């Protein structure tokens, strides 16, 4: 579950089962978060994101299969910046075939985005409002995979970026994604 919010969630559940927070990155009033659950229920259920108070939030859910159940992720990489001085770009240490995904959270002022070379956009909620969320994915083809986004907008909104590789199960085959 990929989240953009101005504060950290106090918890995330799917079908009433708790998820684990993989990582978070904050910058100004925008936070990027990644939460996950290994071997979730095979069911149609609700994802509930809880906060200690009322807040605006953007959430994107991704379901993956053929993932290593004991070590599902590589090391997450994080970055921050301000529009006009830097673009979101992270180099993730990967193994050939990892499915690398990322989330960028931004403050108001970003009006459009384009994913970097070879990336497929999962979600782009760039409405010019607060808590913009941009997510993408890409299969690793080497030991370093770059995840980047070209932002457009006005002002100097801050952004926060997290990227991580998802490891394939030892039985072989690629990590696959269901959207």
Looking at the predicted structure, is the pLDDT value of residue 153 above 50? yes
Q: Write the DSSP assignment of 87-113 as a string of letters.
A: --EEEEE--TT-EEEEEEEE-TTEEEE
Condensed to tens digits (0 to 9), the pLDDT of residues 35-82 reads 999 999 888 889 999 998 878 788 888 899 999 999 999 999 999 999
20, 35 Cβ separation under 8 angstroms: yes
Q: How many CB atoms lie under 10 A from the CB of residue 85?
A: 7
- What token pair was written down for 1? 């579950």
Q: How far is 23 from 20, CA to CA, in rounded Å?
A: 9
Cα Dmax for the chain:
49
Q: Write the DSSP assignment of 54-87 as a string of letters.
A: ----EEE--EEESB-SSS-B---EEEEEETTT--
Buried b (16+ CB within 10 A) or exposed e, 5-31: bbeebeebbbeeeebeeebbbbbbbbb
Establish how many alpha carbons lie within 13 A of residue 130's alpha carbon, considering only the half-sphere containing its beta carbon.
Answer: 10
Condensed to tens digits (0 to 9), the pLDDT of residues 77-109 reads 999 999 999 999 999 999 988 999 999 999 888
pLDDT category, 171, cuts 50, 70, 90?
confident
């Amino acid at each position: 579950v990929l989240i953009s919010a101005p504060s950290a969630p106090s918890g995330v559940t799917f079908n009433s089962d708790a998820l684990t927070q993989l990582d978070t990155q904050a910058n100004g009033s925008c936070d990027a978060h990644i939460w996950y659950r290994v071997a979730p229920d095979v069911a149609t259920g609700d994802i509930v994101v809880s906060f200690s108070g009322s807040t605006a939030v953007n959430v994107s859910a991704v379901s993956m299969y053929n993932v290593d159940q004991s070590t599902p992720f590589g090391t997450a990489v994080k970055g921050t910046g301000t529009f006009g001085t830097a673009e979101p770009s992270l180099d993730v240490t990967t193994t050939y075939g990892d499915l690398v995904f990322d989330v960028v959270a931004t403050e108001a002022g970003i009006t459009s985005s384009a994913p970097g070379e070879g990336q497929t956009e999962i979600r782009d909620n760039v409405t010019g409002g607060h808590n913009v969320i941009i997510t993408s994915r890409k299969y690793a083809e080497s030991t370093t995979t770059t995840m980047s986004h070209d932002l457009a907008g006005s002002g100097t909104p801050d952004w926060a970026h997290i990227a991580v590789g998802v490891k394939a199960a030892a039985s072989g085959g690629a990590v696959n994604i269901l959207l």
